[in-house]
Amino acid sequence: MADQRIAELRQKIAQARDVIAHLIDKAAFDGAEAHRALDYFGSDEFEQNFLPWPRHGDEGLRPEELNAANDD
């Protein structure tokens, strides 16, 4: 049962990557963070601090506070 659940979660991640790619394409957004997200969700690696903002009330920038001018 665990193997089936892992397979389902891998499929879900693949779907998430496809959704992100589609939204990026529709928005004509081609920034470095967009490509970073696609690369991350397309790999098997896990990065604890992948999100660009802290969770659970920690200090840091929220998505709307990030400087999009830094995108390549």
What's the pLDDT score for residue 37?
84
Q: How far is residue 43's CA from residue 5's CA, in Å, rounded to a whole number?
A: 18
Chain mean pLDDT for the chain: 78
pLDDT single digits (tens) 16-36: 889 888 888 888 877 787 888
What's the pLDDT score for residue 54?
61
Q: How far is residue 70's CA from residue 27's CA, in Å, rounded to a whole number?
A: 18
